[in-house]
Structure 1
Protein backbone atom coordinates (compact mmCIF):
# COMPACT_ATOMS: atom_id res chain seq x y z
CA UNK A 1 0.00 0.00 0.00
CA UNK A 2 2.96 2.33 0.45
CA UNK A 3 3.20 2.84 -3.31
CA UNK A 4 -0.50 3.69 -3.58
CA UNK A 5 -0.15 6.16 -0.70
CA UNK A 6 2.89 7.78 -2.39
CA UNK A 7 0.95 8.08 -5.65
CA UNK A 8 -2.05 9.60 -3.87
CA UNK A 9 0.22 12.05 -2.01
CA UNK A 10 1.87 13.11 -5.26
CA UNK A 11 -1.13 13.21 -7.60
CA UNK A 12 -4.26 13.20 -5.47
CA UNK A 13 -7.36 11.08 -5.89
CA UNK A 14 -7.71 11.81 -9.60
CA UNK A 15 -4.10 10.82 -10.18
CA UNK A 16 -4.54 7.29 -8.86
CA UNK A 17 -5.26 4.87 -11.65
CA UNK A 18 -4.59 1.17 -11.74
CA UNK A 19 -2.27 1.74 -14.71
CA UNK A 20 -0.18 4.37 -12.84
CA UNK A 21 -0.04 2.19 -9.76
CA UNK A 22 1.09 -0.80 -11.83
CA UNK A 23 3.74 1.34 -13.56
CA UNK A 24 5.12 2.50 -10.22
CA UNK A 25 5.23 -1.08 -9.03
CA UNK A 26 6.88 -2.25 -12.25
CA UNK A 27 4.01 -4.63 -12.90
CA UNK A 28 1.25 -5.02 -15.43
CA UNK A 29 -2.10 -3.46 -14.58
CA UNK A 30 -3.85 -6.80 -14.85
CA UNK A 31 -1.51 -8.39 -12.32
CA UNK A 32 -2.79 -5.95 -9.66
CA UNK A 33 -6.16 -7.66 -9.81
CA UNK A 34 -4.60 -10.77 -8.29
CA UNK A 35 -4.18 -8.70 -5.11
CA UNK A 36 -7.08 -6.22 -5.11
CA UNK A 37 -10.55 -6.34 -6.62
CA UNK A 38 -10.55 -2.78 -7.99
CA UNK A 39 -9.47 0.82 -7.49
CA UNK A 40 -12.06 1.23 -4.70
CA UNK A 41 -10.34 -1.46 -2.66
CA UNK A 42 -6.97 0.24 -3.24
CA UNK A 43 -8.46 3.46 -1.85
CA UNK A 44 -9.87 1.60 1.17
CA UNK A 45 -6.52 -0.02 1.90
CA UNK A 46 -4.52 3.19 1.34
CA UNK A 47 -6.83 5.16 3.62
CA UNK A 48 -6.62 2.59 6.37
CA UNK A 49 -2.82 2.46 6.02
CA UNK A 50 -2.42 6.19 6.73
CA UNK A 51 -4.75 6.02 9.74
CA UNK A 52 -2.66 3.52 11.69
CA UNK A 53 -2.32 4.62 15.33
CA UNK A 54 0.36 3.09 17.50
CA UNK A 55 -0.38 5.09 20.63
CA UNK A 56 1.62 7.91 22.16
CA UNK A 57 5.36 8.15 21.45
CA UNK A 58 7.53 6.22 23.91
CA UNK A 59 8.81 9.42 25.51
CA UNK A 60 5.31 10.88 26.03
CA UNK A 61 3.13 9.47 28.75
CA UNK A 62 -0.32 11.05 28.99
CA UNK A 63 -1.09 11.99 32.56
CA UNK A 64 -4.85 11.57 32.31
CA UNK A 65 -7.76 10.75 30.00
CA UNK A 66 -7.75 14.25 28.58
CA UNK A 67 -4.05 14.14 27.69
CA UNK A 68 -4.56 10.73 26.11
CA UNK A 69 -7.43 12.05 23.97
CA UNK A 70 -5.46 15.12 22.91
CA UNK A 71 -2.51 12.96 21.78
CA UNK A 72 -4.84 10.59 19.94
CA UNK A 73 -6.82 13.31 18.14
CA UNK A 74 -3.80 15.46 17.30
CA UNK A 75 -2.15 12.38 15.81
CA UNK A 76 -5.28 11.63 13.78
CA UNK A 77 -5.40 15.17 12.41
CA UNK A 78 -1.66 15.19 11.66
CA UNK A 79 -1.94 11.87 9.80
CA UNK A 80 -4.67 13.24 7.58
CA UNK A 81 -2.85 16.53 6.98
CA UNK A 82 0.22 14.58 5.81
CA UNK A 83 -2.11 12.87 3.32
CA UNK A 84 -4.71 15.56 2.43
CA UNK A 85 -6.67 13.23 0.17
CA UNK A 86 -7.54 11.05 3.18
CA UNK A 87 -9.91 13.51 4.85
CA UNK A 88 -12.24 13.64 1.88
CA UNK A 89 -12.28 9.84 1.62
CA UNK A 90 -12.92 8.93 5.24
CA UNK A 91 -16.63 9.67 5.36
CA UNK A 92 -17.28 7.57 2.24
CA UNK A 93 -14.96 4.57 2.62
CA UNK A 94 -15.25 1.26 4.38
CA UNK A 95 -13.95 1.43 7.93
CA UNK A 96 -10.81 -0.67 8.07
CA UNK A 97 -9.05 -2.07 11.12
CA UNK A 98 -6.91 1.02 11.73
CA UNK A 99 -9.78 3.52 11.91
CA UNK A 100 -11.81 1.01 13.92
CA UNK A 101 -8.83 0.67 16.27
CA UNK A 102 -8.70 4.45 16.65
CA UNK A 103 -12.43 4.57 17.37
CA UNK A 104 -12.11 1.74 19.91
CA UNK A 105 -9.25 3.54 21.71
CA UNK A 106 -11.26 6.76 21.67
CA UNK A 107 -14.36 4.97 23.02
CA UNK A 108 -12.39 3.13 25.71
CA UNK A 109 -10.71 6.34 26.88
CA UNK A 110 -13.98 8.27 26.99
CA UNK A 111 -15.72 5.44 28.80
CA UNK A 112 -12.85 5.21 31.28
CA UNK A 113 -13.13 8.96 31.88
CA UNK A 114 -16.72 8.51 33.00
CA UNK A 115 -18.67 9.35 29.84
CA UNK A 116 -21.85 7.29 30.25
CA UNK A 117 -22.69 4.75 27.55
CA UNK A 118 -25.81 6.78 26.69
CA UNK A 119 -23.57 9.75 25.75
CA UNK A 120 -20.64 7.85 24.27
CA UNK A 121 -21.74 8.02 20.62
CA UNK A 122 -22.47 11.75 20.85
CA UNK A 123 -19.03 12.32 22.35
CA UNK A 124 -17.33 10.23 19.66
CA UNK A 125 -19.17 11.91 16.79
CA UNK A 126 -18.50 15.37 18.25
CA UNK A 127 -14.77 14.67 18.42
CA UNK A 128 -14.82 12.98 14.96
CA UNK A 129 -16.58 16.03 13.48
CA UNK A 130 -14.07 18.38 15.08
CA UNK A 131 -11.08 16.44 13.71
CA UNK A 132 -12.63 16.04 10.26
CA UNK A 133 -13.82 19.64 10.01
CA UNK A 134 -10.50 21.07 11.17
CA UNK A 135 -8.59 18.80 8.80
CA UNK A 136 -10.69 19.42 5.71
CA UNK A 137 -10.77 23.16 6.33
CA UNK A 138 -6.99 23.29 6.82
CA UNK A 139 -6.30 21.13 3.78
CA UNK A 140 -8.52 23.13 1.43
CA UNK A 141 -8.66 26.68 2.81
CA UNK A 142 -5.23 27.68 1.66
CA UNK A 143 -5.40 31.39 0.84
CA UNK A 144 -2.19 33.32 0.30
CA UNK A 145 -1.35 36.16 2.67
CA UNK A 146 -2.28 38.61 -0.09
CA UNK A 147 -5.66 36.94 -0.59
CA UNK A 148 -6.38 36.97 3.14
CA UNK A 149 -5.37 40.63 3.40
CA UNK A 150 -7.58 41.56 0.44
CA UNK A 151 -10.52 39.66 1.96
CA UNK A 152 -9.99 41.38 5.30
CA UNK A 153 -9.89 44.78 3.57
CA UNK A 154 -13.20 43.94 1.92
CA UNK A 155 -14.63 43.02 5.31
CA UNK A 156 -13.35 46.31 6.71
CA UNK A 157 -15.27 48.15 3.99
CA UNK A 158 -18.33 46.10 4.90
CA UNK A 159 -17.81 46.34 8.66
CA UNK A 160 -21.19 47.92 9.21
CA UNK A 161 -22.81 44.76 7.88
CA UNK A 162 -20.33 42.23 9.37
CA UNK A 163 -18.93 43.97 12.46
CA UNK A 164 -18.14 40.92 14.57
CA UNK A 165 -16.15 38.91 12.02
CA UNK A 166 -14.39 42.06 10.86
CA UNK A 167 -13.43 42.93 14.44
CA UNK A 168 -12.18 39.40 15.14
CA UNK A 169 -10.07 39.56 11.96
CA UNK A 170 -11.30 36.07 11.13
CA UNK A 171 -9.81 35.92 7.65
CA UNK A 172 -6.33 36.88 8.86
CA UNK A 173 -6.22 34.18 11.50
CA UNK A 174 -4.01 31.36 10.24
CA UNK A 175 -3.28 29.66 13.57
CA UNK A 176 -4.75 26.36 12.44
CA UNK A 177 -3.06 24.29 15.13
CA UNK A 178 -4.04 26.71 17.89
CA UNK A 179 -7.66 26.85 16.69
CA UNK A 180 -7.81 23.05 16.55
CA UNK A 181 -6.42 22.67 20.06
CA UNK A 182 -8.62 25.38 21.57
CA UNK A 183 -11.71 23.90 19.91
CA UNK A 184 -10.70 20.51 21.25
CA UNK A 185 -10.36 22.04 24.72
CA UNK A 186 -13.91 23.43 24.42
CA UNK A 187 -15.21 19.98 23.56
CA UNK A 188 -13.22 18.20 26.26
CA UNK A 189 -14.37 20.73 28.87
CA UNK A 190 -17.92 19.68 28.04
CA UNK A 191 -17.01 16.00 28.33
CA UNK A 192 -15.21 16.35 31.65
CA UNK A 193 -16.83 14.30 34.41
CA UNK A 194 -19.17 16.43 36.50
CA UNK A 195 -18.24 16.43 40.19
Structure 2
Protein backbone atom coordinates (compact mmCIF):
# COMPACT_ATOMS: atom_id res chain seq x y z
CA UNK A 1 0.00 0.00 0.00
CA UNK A 2 1.43 3.36 -1.04
CA UNK A 3 1.58 5.89 1.76
CA UNK A 4 -0.35 9.05 1.12
CA UNK A 5 1.90 11.97 0.38
CA UNK A 6 2.22 14.57 3.09
CA UNK A 7 1.25 17.12 0.45
CA UNK A 8 -2.10 15.40 -0.06
CA UNK A 9 -3.05 15.19 3.61
CA UNK A 10 -4.94 18.05 5.29
CA UNK A 11 -2.62 20.23 7.28
CA UNK A 12 -2.88 19.72 11.01
CA UNK A 13 -3.85 22.71 13.04
CA UNK A 14 -1.01 23.38 15.43
CA UNK A 15 -1.91 23.96 19.03
CA UNK A 16 -1.15 27.33 20.45
CA UNK A 17 1.62 27.16 23.02
CA UNK A 18 0.40 27.12 26.60
CA UNK A 19 1.32 30.40 28.25
CA UNK A 20 0.30 31.99 31.51
CA UNK A 21 -1.59 34.70 29.63
CA UNK A 22 -3.56 32.09 27.73
CA UNK A 23 -4.35 30.19 30.93
CA UNK A 24 -5.63 33.34 32.61
CA UNK A 25 -7.72 34.37 29.60
CA UNK A 26 -9.36 30.93 29.46
CA UNK A 27 -9.95 30.93 33.21
CA UNK A 28 -11.69 34.30 33.00
CA UNK A 29 -13.84 33.01 30.13
CA UNK A 30 -14.79 29.90 32.12
CA UNK A 31 -15.60 31.96 35.21
CA UNK A 32 -17.72 34.35 33.14
CA UNK A 33 -19.68 31.47 31.66
CA UNK A 34 -20.11 29.19 34.65
CA UNK A 35 -18.89 30.85 37.86
CA UNK A 36 -16.29 29.95 40.44
CA UNK A 37 -17.94 26.70 41.55
CA UNK A 38 -17.40 25.14 38.12
CA UNK A 39 -13.75 26.07 37.85
CA UNK A 40 -11.46 23.10 38.41
CA UNK A 41 -7.94 22.53 37.22
CA UNK A 42 -9.11 19.53 35.20
CA UNK A 43 -11.85 21.46 33.41
CA UNK A 44 -9.49 24.35 32.72
CA UNK A 45 -6.91 21.96 31.25
CA UNK A 46 -9.59 20.42 29.03
CA UNK A 47 -10.65 23.81 27.73
CA UNK A 48 -7.03 24.62 26.98
CA UNK A 49 -6.59 21.33 25.15
CA UNK A 50 -3.79 20.17 27.38
CA UNK A 51 -3.16 17.82 30.26
CA UNK A 52 -3.35 18.70 33.91
CA UNK A 53 0.37 18.02 34.31
CA UNK A 54 1.20 20.69 31.76
CA UNK A 55 -1.20 23.13 33.42
CA UNK A 56 0.36 22.51 36.83
CA UNK A 57 3.73 23.47 35.40
CA UNK A 58 2.39 27.04 35.08
CA UNK A 59 -0.01 27.29 38.05
CA UNK A 60 0.09 25.09 41.13
CA UNK A 61 -3.42 25.46 42.54
CA UNK A 62 -6.92 26.69 41.79
CA UNK A 63 -6.22 29.56 44.17
CA UNK A 64 -3.36 30.62 41.90
CA UNK A 65 -5.78 30.69 38.97
CA UNK A 66 -8.35 32.72 40.90
CA UNK A 67 -5.77 35.27 42.02
CA UNK A 68 -4.50 35.66 38.47
CA UNK A 69 -8.03 35.92 37.03
CA UNK A 70 -9.03 38.55 39.57
CA UNK A 71 -5.95 40.61 38.78
CA UNK A 72 -6.80 40.36 35.09
CA UNK A 73 -10.15 42.01 35.90
CA UNK A 74 -8.30 44.86 37.59
CA UNK A 75 -6.21 45.16 34.45
CA UNK A 76 -9.37 46.18 32.56
CA UNK A 77 -9.72 49.34 34.66
CA UNK A 78 -8.41 52.35 32.70
CA UNK A 79 -6.01 54.72 34.41
CA UNK A 80 -7.31 58.27 33.77
CA UNK A 81 -4.67 60.36 32.04
CA UNK A 82 -5.90 63.87 32.78
CA UNK A 83 -8.21 65.97 34.89
CA UNK A 84 -8.36 67.36 38.38
CA UNK A 85 -7.96 64.94 41.29
CA UNK A 86 -11.69 64.58 41.78
CA UNK A 87 -12.32 63.70 38.12
CA UNK A 88 -9.44 61.20 38.09
CA UNK A 89 -10.61 59.50 41.28
CA UNK A 90 -14.20 59.33 40.04
CA UNK A 91 -13.14 57.94 36.66
CA UNK A 92 -10.95 55.29 38.30
CA UNK A 93 -13.56 53.94 40.70
CA UNK A 94 -16.32 54.12 38.06
CA UNK A 95 -14.17 52.05 35.72
CA UNK A 96 -13.35 49.72 38.60
CA UNK A 97 -17.05 49.11 39.27
CA UNK A 98 -17.72 48.50 35.58
CA UNK A 99 -14.95 45.89 35.39
CA UNK A 100 -16.26 44.04 38.44
CA UNK A 101 -19.80 44.01 37.05
CA UNK A 102 -18.60 42.65 33.69
CA UNK A 103 -17.28 39.70 35.69
CA UNK A 104 -19.76 39.23 38.57
CA UNK A 105 -17.82 36.26 40.00
CA UNK A 106 -14.99 38.67 40.81
CA UNK A 107 -16.98 40.33 43.58
CA UNK A 108 -16.93 37.06 45.51
CA UNK A 109 -13.12 37.06 45.50
CA UNK A 110 -12.51 40.54 46.88
CA UNK A 111 -11.62 39.15 50.30
CA UNK A 112 -8.44 37.73 48.78
CA UNK A 113 -5.14 39.66 49.06
CA UNK A 114 -5.09 42.12 46.17
CA UNK A 115 -1.37 41.87 45.53
CA UNK A 116 -1.30 41.42 41.77
CA UNK A 117 0.44 44.03 39.61
CA UNK A 118 -2.79 45.37 38.10
CA UNK A 119 -4.52 45.77 41.46
CA UNK A 120 -1.44 47.40 42.99
CA UNK A 121 -1.06 49.78 40.04
CA UNK A 122 -4.67 50.98 40.43
CA UNK A 123 -4.30 51.29 44.18
CA UNK A 124 -1.09 53.25 43.74
CA UNK A 125 -2.86 55.53 41.27
CA UNK A 126 -5.68 56.17 43.73
CA UNK A 127 -3.28 56.92 46.59
CA UNK A 128 -1.13 59.16 44.40
CA UNK A 129 -4.17 61.04 43.15
CA UNK A 130 -5.42 61.67 46.68
CA UNK A 131 -1.94 62.56 47.93
CA UNK A 132 -1.66 65.08 45.12
CA UNK A 133 -4.94 66.61 46.29
CA UNK A 134 -3.42 67.27 49.70
CA UNK A 135 -4.43 64.19 51.69
CA UNK A 136 -1.70 62.95 53.99
CA UNK A 137 -1.13 61.10 57.23
CA UNK A 138 -4.16 59.16 58.45
CA UNK A 139 -6.41 61.08 56.05
CA UNK A 140 -4.83 59.44 53.00
CA UNK A 141 -5.68 55.77 53.72
CA UNK A 142 -9.05 56.84 55.15
CA UNK A 143 -9.94 58.60 51.91
CA UNK A 144 -8.65 55.73 49.77
CA UNK A 145 -10.48 53.11 51.83
CA UNK A 146 -13.70 55.11 51.66
CA UNK A 147 -13.63 55.07 47.87
CA UNK A 148 -12.40 51.51 47.43
CA UNK A 149 -14.84 49.97 49.89
CA UNK A 150 -17.69 51.99 48.39
CA UNK A 151 -17.02 50.68 44.90
CA UNK A 152 -16.47 47.08 45.98
CA UNK A 153 -19.53 47.11 48.24
CA UNK A 154 -21.72 48.63 45.56
CA UNK A 155 -20.56 46.16 42.91
CA UNK A 156 -20.97 43.20 45.28
CA UNK A 157 -24.55 44.14 46.16
CA UNK A 158 -25.48 44.62 42.51
CA UNK A 159 -23.76 41.44 41.33
CA UNK A 160 -25.70 39.43 43.90
CA UNK A 161 -29.02 40.77 42.59
CA UNK A 162 -28.80 39.83 38.89
CA UNK A 163 -32.44 38.84 38.64
CA UNK A 164 -33.79 41.93 40.34
CA UNK A 165 -34.58 40.25 43.65
CA UNK A 166 -34.63 43.73 45.13
CA UNK A 167 -38.08 44.17 43.60
CA UNK A 168 -39.36 41.21 45.59
CA UNK A 169 -37.88 42.70 48.75
CA UNK A 170 -39.54 46.03 47.98
CA UNK A 171 -42.87 44.24 47.58
CA UNK A 172 -42.47 42.61 50.96
CA UNK A 173 -41.72 45.97 52.52
CA UNK A 174 -44.85 47.44 50.98
CA UNK A 175 -46.84 44.62 52.50
CA UNK A 176 -45.38 45.52 55.91
CA UNK A 177 -45.25 49.28 55.50
CA UNK A 178 -46.52 49.87 59.04
CA UNK A 179 -43.39 48.29 60.50
CA UNK A 180 -40.97 49.75 57.92
CA UNK A 181 -42.52 53.01 56.68
CA UNK A 182 -39.37 54.71 55.40
CA UNK A 183 -38.04 51.61 53.69
CA UNK A 184 -41.42 50.95 52.15
CA UNK A 185 -41.62 54.51 50.85
CA UNK A 186 -38.21 54.43 49.19
CA UNK A 187 -37.94 50.75 48.34
CA UNK A 188 -34.93 48.51 47.94
CA UNK A 189 -34.93 48.08 44.17
CA UNK A 190 -32.55 50.90 43.25
CA UNK A 191 -31.36 52.31 39.99
CA UNK A 192 -27.87 51.02 40.64
CA UNK A 193 -26.06 53.45 38.33
CA UNK A 194 -27.86 56.47 39.76
CA UNK A 195 -27.34 55.35 43.35
CA UNK A 196 -23.64 54.75 42.74
CA UNK A 197 -23.14 58.13 41.07
CA UNK A 198 -24.95 59.97 43.87
CA UNK A 199 -23.11 58.12 46.63
CA UNK A 200 -19.78 58.75 44.94
CA UNK A 201 -20.61 62.46 44.71
CA UNK A 202 -21.37 62.48 48.45
CA UNK A 203 -17.97 60.98 49.21
CA UNK A 204 -16.08 63.28 46.88
CA UNK A 205 -17.93 66.36 48.16
CA UNK A 206 -16.88 65.50 51.69
CA UNK A 207 -13.30 64.85 50.63
CA UNK A 208 -13.15 68.11 48.68
CA UNK A 209 -14.30 69.98 51.77
CA UNK A 210 -11.36 68.46 53.70
CA UNK A 211 -8.90 69.84 51.17
CA UNK A 212 -10.16 73.41 51.53
CA UNK A 213 -8.01 75.78 53.63
Tell me whether the two structures share a fold, i.e. TM-score over 0.5.
yes
Q: Unaligned stretches of 5+ in structure 2?
A: 1-23
Contact 1:45 1:96 in 2 (8 A): yes
- Give the match for residue 96 of structure 1: 116
1:152-183 Cα distance to aligned partner (Å, 9 max, x none): 34323322211111122x2243x101111111
Q: Unaligned stretches of 5+ in structure 1?
A: none
Q: How many equivalent pairs are there?
A: 187
1:5-40 Cα distance to aligned partner (Å, 9 max, x none): 001111111111111111111000111111111111
Work out whether 1:184 is the aligned partner of 2:200. Answer: yes
Cα pair distance change 1:151/1:50, threshold 3 Å: closer
Work out whether 1:55 is the aligned partner of 2:82. Answer: no
Q: 1:79 aligns with which of 83, 92, 99?
A: 99
Q: Provide the rounded CA distance (Å) in 2 between the counterparts of 1:119 and 1:194.
A: 14
Q: Provide the rounded CA distance (Å) in 1 between the counterparts of 2:169 and 2:110.
A: 31
- Give the match for residue 171 of structure 1: 188
- Give the match for residue 21 of structure 1: 44
Cα pair distance change 1:162/1:143, threshold 3 Å: farther
1:61-92 Cα distance to aligned partner (Å, 9 max, x none): 64311111111001101111111111111222
The structure with the larger Rg is 2
Q: Provide the rounded CA distance (Å) in 1 between the counterparts of 2:26 and 2:57.
A: 16
After superposing the two structures, state which structure 1 stretch, 84-93 or 6-15, moved more.
84-93
Cα pair distance change 1:156/1:38, threshold 3 Å: closer
Q: Provide the rounded CA distance (Å) in 1 between the counterparts of 2:171 and 2:29.
A: 40
Q: Provide the rounded CA distance (Å) in 1 between the counterparts of 2:148 and 2:127.
A: 11
- Give the match for residue 36 of structure 1: 59
Q: What is the DSSP-based 3-state SS (H/G/I as helix, E as strand, rest coil) of the residue aligned with 2:86?
A: helix
Contact 1:9 1:83 in 2 (8 A): yes
Q: What TM-score comes out, normalization by structure 2 length?
A: 0.82
Contact 1:111 1:117 in 2 (8 A): no
Deviation, structure 1 residue 94: 4.6
Deviation, structure 1 residue 143: 4.2
Deviation, structure 1 residue 126: 1.1
Q: Provide the rounded CA distance (Å) in 1 between the counterparts of 2:90 and 2:202.
A: 12
- Give the match for residue 119 of structure 1: 139
1:94-118 Cα distance to aligned partner (Å, 9 max, x none): 5211111111000000011111222
